[in-house]
A and B are shown apart, each in its own frame.
Chain A
């Protein structure tokens, strides 16, 4: 039935037999003229005998006949369910065995895979063949890999829709065993949606399926990407991406995002694959504050657990303690050695300043800097030694007191006294550093010549002195010496930490030397060994964070014992104090060679031609033609001419039928519309009254909801406050004047188009001129603006892209003392239709427009919560619901309008007493 037009098939081809009825219909139509109009007429006597005065056609005109036959044919064809691009037949015999790789490597193009699988199932359904589904990754429930029962196409489709990629590897040997069991039951036709990775048993599975009745292999065009856990490199983070073996020929670039725990992007860096290279690296170089907030690295634009690397406390900056005397008798803070140390350590370490005993009691310092002082007591020395041996780094500095009486806790023995290279009685000049020893930790640093040492303590010459020396002056005198002690280091700078003895504390070299020294520290210790770590959050196959399921077990304490799988999926494990990241990228290996299927197995890509069901369109055209036929019939009966016929609206009614028919057939249910008003009238009204405004999105449902929402808010405002809001208008920022409106409500759609230059200019001018734009992405359930490093909603992602062209100030979540929390009602939560999630406003240090935020950003779908009908009944339910949430949504709306109208008035301290009184304090 489809031989003459290959990409067309029918779901109900037997209906086409109705086409043989067309000649009969033709005959019936031909002999039946259109029914005449009946009309009562008193002087009918005078009309009698006039019938045959002229030869008139009493048959249906041939073109009308043709039209009606066409309608009939279209209806028959439409009901027969024609489908464009149905795909070739599956071939073979027996049930269709659909093998789906759903391991981590499939996550990146998962929708494509599901579409391909659904397409195959649809085809099997059309051919009336049952389907057996075999997923090769172990199921999340922990059950073994097994083939499904024999399913109908509908059941298989439902299972496919529920199928998710797994954040662990496929288990091909188990799949091989399952497939062998299935093949033993009878002939099957196999289709393998592969992830393109050559794993163990891949060849064996291919051969088995091919022999069992034929195999089609569907291979992805590009292999997966694997993101390793980032490594710390000083203050920087280095991330490594590995690509599949099939893709190594070309150069390519991927973008990595460093994300904070709340989902903010801290940094974006491109990682470049050279031609032929399997992996690419990139560095994130960040300021301290940002660096310590990093919670995950993700590959931009790629979903999946393999494209996500979580980061735990091991990546945090090293805590460094600076010892100050307990007495605190430092008279001149700027001259105190601890001041210079704090300044030098701050760029890469979390500095704590405390007496030595407190630092040791705190117990979690990676390094301790000890300035010149009287010799350490014996207990203090013992505690310090124990701490160093456990992995700490003690950085000591010399000084007059050390020179006078050095204590034994030194990397090298010191002479009493030291030497001075300057002064009235000295011949020597202050001396610069020599080049650093290539074997030492400072090997990549170059000492600047202007850094000179004028005074130092001297080491006793000894055999091991040379090996313990990290830095020398140009005459060979050691300036920095160090000694490994247990798992830690004891380091001595032979100068003071203040600029008294040298220029070193004033130079950048000091910072670099300290950084490399502190980097030697082991850092935070894991808790007592041997304790399994319970899961905190886990990653799903798409790389989303979620609460661990019931089947997730604790992670073995020893890193080597952990096995990636349903029991221990990637994620964060541990306790509130100590979290350990367990990343997929470290647990799986990318195969070295690409999967090379044996000859004779047909291979194709995932791209499937979109199948189009033509039936509805044919029926729509038929409906339109029927309407046209109605019009023609009315015309033939003289009804269309509004001369004497009493029913003049017939023509209009016919036109209405046509329009309704067309609308009903093609675009159902978008009848809601927004009232239209001329721009000049609107501007005049808006200039003379208080009107709210929203940005027209072009989506009629969203626009109607915005209108209803702002109208509802205006009613509530008028009822409760002295703001007499008249209503709301839709505006187009590209063309309309915005200056009249105190706020502009802007629902963002996931498909929000980019802003034109004119719109950007107007919006920027609006914000500069004191306007507030309320962006509402309305996608809190899909993630909103993220949180816990989770993904953002689609509209939020789009808003971030779109708003990039606007002059949006730096943003923070609404702080508890923000004016928005007290401009009319006292409130801390700002729910709309959805609750939870942050509302973002500009930071307080942007002193423009009285500090009124230029933007308010949320994902709560406020308009839907505000929307009410004429009787004041709400139009949409709130989620999770309740009158209180609706009331709070209205309160937020009132606060918002008050805020935009009155600015920082309520921020004034004058109001604090009354606010406190209302708070009941």
Chain B
């Protein structure tokens, strides 16, 4: 278990916040986030910030205002005080929606949507603690930090399906370049459609993390006997009668892996990171991987 290196004051503030009436999702997400806490991190280089980084000798071109007079008075030559660069990132979160995301088999801990919400919310908390600005990719609010922003995020994730009917991400018109985007979804649409959707993000020079969120039953097809399957969401109205599910299981698994392989190839080509997460796995491991991936440059 990681030890929280955050200062005691903020810990107390966090503890205080915990006592507030929070949306259930926020509470669960904070519980998860606490296990993966990273803290505010500097950029380990000179830049715009508040924290002292180094003193260096005055060089021609430096403005006079940057001279640290106290240090200069101690020495013979003038010194300039440099601060660490503390630029915050902008991270956009997106979660697929639609009836398919509500699917939960008996072996899963919950639906895919619930897992995605928890994962993204925990990530948002982590990012918020790190000072990053977070927003929903398809939301109305601009990226921001702070508690109220987290509340907005949680409300946005819980918004009715009708507002966000898409099972694939669409590019926001005012998406700033060079931001980070986290996409969580089952990506069961045909590969060309997925490629079209992701290509738009790539064009905006986003660093994209794709979480391929699946139910274990979708991977394994563990059913037996005579079953009439019917689709959800876009596939609603489609149904197929499988007389003996056992007999088609290898073929199905083969097809599914091919789809996953296609998705992986697509992401690799676009420079996206792809991680597969199933709802029977612990959420902490996925969060950890995601956080580390975001932190790495």
- CB within 8 Å of B: which residues of A? 33-34, 36-48, 50-51, 53-54, 56-58, 636-639, 641, 643-646
Interface contact A53-B188, CB-CB below 8 Å: no
Q: Which residues from chain A contact B244 at a C-beta distance below 8 Å?
A: 54, 56
Q: Is B248 a contact partner of A50 (Cβ separation < 8 A)?
A: yes
The answer to whether A638 and B223 touch (CB under 8 A), given A39-B229, A51-B243, is yes
Closest to A33 in B: B226
CB of B243 within 8 A of CB of A42, answer no
| B251 proximal to A (CB < 8 A) | yes
**B residues in contact with A48, CB < 8 Å:** 238, 240
Q: Contact: B231 with A53, CB < 8 Å?
A: no
- Report chain A residues within 8 Å CB of B177: none
Q: CB distance A641 to B242 under 8 Å?
A: no
* Residues in B neighbouring A644, C-beta threshold 8 A: 105-107, 217, 222-223
Q: In the assembled complex, how far is the CB of residue A343 from the closest CB belonging to chain B, in whole angstroms?
A: 99
Number of B residues, CB within 8 Å of A: 40
- The reply on B292 being an interface residue by CB < 8 A is no
The residues of A that contact B251 with a CB separation of less than 8 Å are 50, 53
What 1/0 flags go to B228-271 for Cβ under 8 Å of A? 11111101001111111101100110011001000000000000
Contact of A51 among B99, B235, B240, B255 (CB under 8 A): B240
Most chain A CB atoms below 10 A, which of B218, B226, B245, B251: B226
State how many angstroms separate the Cβ of A650 from the closest Cβ of chain B.
Answer: 12
Residue on A nearest B215 in the bound complex, by CB: A42
| Inter-chain contact B231/A36, CB cutoff 8 Å | no
Given contacts A37-B227, A45-B231, A637-B225, contact A54 B248 (CB under 8 A): yes
CB neighbours (8 Å) of A636 from chain B are: 225-226
Minimum Cβ distance to chain A for residue B172 (Å): 26
4 shortest A-B CB distances, which residue pairs?
A638-B225, A56-B243, A42-B100, A638-B224
The verdict on B132 contacting chain A, using a C-beta distance below 8 Å, is no
Task: Give CA–CA (A638, B243) in the complex, Å.
Answer: 11
Q: Closest chain B residue to A42 by CB distance?
A: B100
Min CB distance A329 to B, Å, is: 113
B105 CB to nearest A CB, Å: 6
Are A39 and B223 in contact, CB atoms less than 8 angstroms apart? yes
Do A45 and B227 contact each other (CB < 8 Å), given the known contacts A51-B243, A54-B244? no
Contacting residues, chain B, for A44 (C-beta < 8 A): 229-232, 235, 238-240
State whether A40 and B248 are in contact (beta carbons under 8 Å apart), knowing that A45-B231, A51-B241 are contacts in the complex.
Answer: no
Per the bound structure, the CA–CA distance linking A39 and B222 in Å amounts to: 12
Find out whether the CB atom of A638 lies under 8 angstroms from the CB atom of B245.
yes
Asked if B103 CB lies within 8 Å of chain A CBs, one says yes
Q: Please give me the residue from chain B that is nearest to A637 by CB atom.
A: B225
B190 within 8 A of A: yes
Number of residue pairs spanning A and B whose beta carbons lie under 8 angstroms apart: 116
A637 and B223 alpha carbons, distance in the complex (Å): 10
A37: chain B residues at CB < 8 Å are 225-228
Give Cα A636 to B99, complex, Å.
29
Q: What is the chain A residue whose CB lies nearest that of B167? A: A42
Contact of A40 among B106, B232, B252 (CB under 8 A): B232
**B117 sits at the interface (CB 8 A):** no
CB-CB nearest in chain A for B100: A42
Which residues from chain A contact B252 at a C-beta distance below 8 Å? 46-47, 50
Q: Give A51 to B227 CA distance when docked, in angstroms.
A: 10
A45 touches B223 (CB 8 A): no
- Contact code string B178-197 (vs A, CB < 8 Å = 1, else 0): 00000000101010000000
A638 (CB) vs chain B CBs: closest residue: B225
A51 surroundings in chain B (CB, below 8 A)? 240-243
Contacts of A639 in B (CB 8 A): 225
**Chain A positions within 8 Å of B239 at CB level:** 44
Interface residues of B in 66-125 (CB under 8 A from A): 99-100, 103, 105-107
Q: Are A643 and B224 in contact (CB under 8 A)?
A: yes
Distance between B271 CB and nearest chain A CB, rounded to angstroms: 27
Interface of B is mostly: mixed
Instruction: Decide: B255 and A54 in contact? CB cutoff 8 A.
Output: no
Closest-CB distance, B202 to chain A (whole angstroms): 25
Q: How far is the CB of A330 from chain B (nearest CB, A)?
A: 109
Who on chain A is nearest to B244 by CB? A56
| Apart from the given pairs A39-B229, A47-B252, 8 other A-B contacts in the complex at a CB distance below 8 Å | A37-B228, A38-B227, A40-B232, A56-B243, A638-B225, A639-B225, A644-B223, A646-B106
> Does A39 lie within 8 Å of B218, measured CB to CB?
no
C-alpha gap A282/B103 in the complex (Å) = 94
Q: How far is the CA of A44 from the CA of B190 in the complex (A)?
A: 12
- B226's partner among A41, A47, A50, A638 (CB-CB below 8 A) is A638
Instruction: Determine how close the nearest CB of chain A comes to the CB of B109; give it in whole angstroms.
Output: 14
Q: How far is the CA of A636 from the CA of B238 in the complex (A)?
A: 24
> Are the CB atoms of B226 and A45 closer together than 8 Å?
no
Given contacts A39-B229, A42-B103, A42-B186, contact A50 B240 (CB under 8 A): yes
On chain A, the residues within 8 Å of B256 by CB distance are 43, 46
Partner of A38, one of B186, B224, B230: B230
A selection of 5 A-B contacts at a CB cut-off of 8 Å is A38-B230, A42-B231, A46-B259, A47-B240, A638-B245
Inside 8 A of B235's CB, which chain A residues have their CB?
Answer: 42, 44-45
Most buried by B among A37, A40, A636: A40
Q: Mark B185-222, 1 if CB is under 8 A from A, else 0.
A: 01010100000000000000000000000010110001
Task: State whether A47 and B229 are in contact (beta carbons under 8 Å apart), knowing that A42-B100, A54-B244, A56-B247 are contacts in the complex.
Answer: yes
CA distance in complex: A531, B230 (Å): 103
| Residues in chain A near residue B248, CB distance under 8 A | 47, 50, 53-54
Taken together as a complex, chains A and B put the C-alpha atoms of A350 and B151 apart, in Å, by 112
Find chain A residues with CB under 8 A from B215 CB: 42
Residues of A close to B259: CB separation below 8 A: 46
Inter-subunit contact A42/B230 (CB<8 Å): no
Let me know if B218 and A43 touch, CB within 8 A: yes
With known contacts A44-B235, A50-B251, A58–B243 Cβ distance under 8 A? yes
- With A39-B223, A47-B240 as known contacts, state yes or no: A54 contacts B228, CB within 8 Å: no
Contact A40 B228 (CB under 8 A): no
CA distance A641 to B245 in the complex (A): 13
Cβ–Cβ contact B230 & A43, under 8 A: no
Q: Is the CB of B226 within 8 A of A36?
A: yes
A34 in contact with B232 (CB, 8 Å): no
Query: Nearest B residue to A639 by beta-carbon distance?
Result: B225
Say whether A41 contacts B231, CB under 8 Å.
Answer: yes
Contact A41 B106 (CB under 8 A): no
Task: Select from chain B the residue with minimum beta-carbon distance to A54.
Answer: B247
User: B247 is contacted by which of A39, A43, A53, A638 (Cβ under 8 Å)?
Assistant: A53
A34/B226 in contact, CB under 8 A: yes
Contacts of B223 in A (CB 8 A): 39, 638, 643-644
A47–chain B nearest beta-carbon distance, Å: 6
- In the complex, chain B residues whose CB is within 8 Å of the CB of A41: 103, 218, 229-232
Q: Which residues of A contact B227 (CB under 8 A)?
A: 36-39, 637-638
Docked Cα-Cα span, A58 to B226, in Å, equals 9
| Known contacts A42-B186, A45-B188; A641 and B224 CB within 8 A of each other | yes
Beta-carbon contact of B229 and A645 below 8 Å = no
A639 to B106, CA, bound (A): 14
CB distance from A489 to the nearest CB of B (A): 108
User: How far is it, in angstroms, between the C-alpha of A645 and the C-alpha of B224 when the chains are bound?
Assistant: 9
**Residues in A neighbouring B245, C-beta threshold 8 A:** 638
Query: From residue B233, how far is it (CB to closest CB) to chain A in Å?
Result: 8
Please report the C-alpha to C-alpha distance between residue A39 and residue B240 in the assembled complex, in whole angstroms: 10
Bound together, the chains give a CA A467 to CA B188 distance in angstroms of: 138
Give A643 to B252 CA distance when docked, in angstroms.
Answer: 19
Chain A residues closer than 8 Å to B231, beta-carbon distance: 40-42, 44-45
- Cα A204 to Cα B266 in complex, Å, equals 115
User: Cβ of A57: which chain B residues have Cβ within 8 Å of it?
Assistant: 243
**Measured between alpha carbons, how far is A397 from B242 in the docked complex, in Å?**
122
**Whole-angstrom distance between the alpha carbons of A10 and B226 in the complex?**
43
Q: Cβ of A58: which chain B residues have Cβ within 8 Å of it?
A: 243
Beta-carbon nearest neighbor of B188 in chain A: A43
Min CB gap B103→A, angstroms: 5
Q: Distance in Å from the Cβ of B5 to the closest Cβ of chain A?
A: 41
Point out the residues of chain A lying under 8 angstroms from B218, CB to CB. Answer: 41-43
CB-CB nearest in chain B for A38 = B228
